[in-house]
Amino acid sequence: MLKSISRRSLLTATVGLALVTRMRPAWAQLPPLAKKASYKVGFAQTESNNPWRLAQTESMQSEAKKLGYQLVYTDAAGSAAKQVADVNSMIAQGVDLIFLPPREEKPLIPAIMNAKNAGIPVILVDRDVDHTLAKPGEDYVTFTGSDFVDEGKRVAEWLVKAMGGNAKIIEIEGTVGSSPANDRRKGFDTFMKDHPGMVILASQSGDFARDKGRQVMETLYQAHPDATAVYAHSDEMALGAISAIEAAGKVPGKDVIVVGVDGEKAALEAIIAGKMGATCECNPRFGPGAFAIMARYAAGETLPTFIKNEDRFFDATNAKENVDSAF
Ligand code: GYE
């Protein structure tokens, strides 16, 4: 017993010493980025099961190619644990910088800290983390993406107008613990508090995926057949909900008004067909903006802690003229 404990503590001490000598102290500032003609950059994608993710990956890859940078690309296939391992492997490969869309707000914190301690700057793209656990400008360079609270609020505003201030709403949320799900709910639910005729009957996560959105709607609509509106945190889930409404023998756009977020092509087509009410854009084409932020950082600029993407809003008044440019 004694022998095994002492052997284990000796091992721990040795590993610990090896790490300490390699690592920067935890309180160190952001790692700098040298100015170079070319870089090896990591992009640790969350999953690839929807058009939004595919458009984002395409945008990151084509911008890297345009600049002549080497892009180390990984796909976490919907697992935060795999995404942590993916980031750790990028650190081991010695990339110059990591672009990370943290799938959920908390589990990716250790990976961000590992990168920082290894001297590799991290730029969060499209999703943020919990600021009580890791701070922009201190632990990672910045967060660039949409204002999700505002997206939820804009959808809420549209729905109040369209429903004349009275609706029974089913809310289909995004990935549990992700910043867009947390903030899109906050923006929407807070706005609705001032509109007592707008009642949220039930809410449940559909993990930002079309088929899960369909399944959740099937269950919630059976429990709440009096629902008159659906707010989905993504267009994929909104399209899933539309299928569930049709399967229940009801008419989306008439019996139930469906609204979403993202502005994907299939959603704009559903708006044109009268099946969907509106969607707030969430632009997935991050490539040019993300690499421009990287260049500013390499030039020594102190960046703002949030670099915001501007989002458009689509409904029947403008879906036709924008459908071709949608993803
Ligand atoms: O809205 C959703 C995707 O993180 C902002 O993730 C992104 C969201 C996007 O899967 O459809």
Q: For 262, left (φ over 0), alpha (ψ -120 to 50), or beta?
A: left
d(CA 163, CA 251): 16
- Give me the pLDDT at residue 23, please: 53
pLDDT tens sequence across 115-130: 999 999 999 999 999 9
Max CA-CA distance within the chain?
76
Domains 40-145+284-309 and 148-282 agree in fold: yes
The answer to whether 128 and 179 have CB atoms below 8 angstroms apart is yes
- Give me the pLDDT at residue 289, please: 98
Per-state percent for the chain, helix, strand, coil, to nearest 5: 45, 20, 35
The atom of ligand 1 lying closest to the CA of 50 is 10
Residues having CB closer than 6 A to ligand 1 are: 50, 52-53, 126-127, 180, 208, 234, 261-262, 282
pLDDT score of 25 more than 90: no
Output DSSP code: residue 184.
H
pLDDT tens sequence across 88-102: 999 999 999 999 999
37 C-alpha to ligand 1 centroid (Å): 32
- Give me the pLDDT at residue 4, please: 47
Q: Name the closest-CA residue to atom 11, ligand 1.
A: 234
Output DSSP code: residue 50.
S
Structure tokens at 247: 């399967």
pLDDT tens sequence across 237-266: 999 999 999 999 999 999 999 999 999 999
Q: Which is the CATH superfamily of the domain at 40-145+284-309?
A: Response regulator (3.40.50.2300)
pLDDT score of 10 more than 60: no
- Give me the pLDDT at residue 21, please: 44
- H or E element that contains 179: helix 179-193
Please state which of the ranges 20-34, 172-186, 246-260 shows the lowest mean pLDDT.
20-34
Kindly report the CATH class assigned to 148-282: alpha beta
- Where are the domains positioned within the chain? 40-145+284-309, 148-282
The atom of ligand 1 lying closest to the CA of 209 is 10
Average pLDDT over residues 193-198: 98
Structure tokens at 19: 């790490």
- The model's confidence at residue 26, banded by pLDDT at 50, 70 and 90, is low
If DSSP codes are grouped into helix, strand and coil, which group holds residue 40? strand
Q: In this structure, how many other beta carbons lie within 10 angstroms of the beta carbon of residue 156?
A: 24
d(CA 45, CA 92): 17
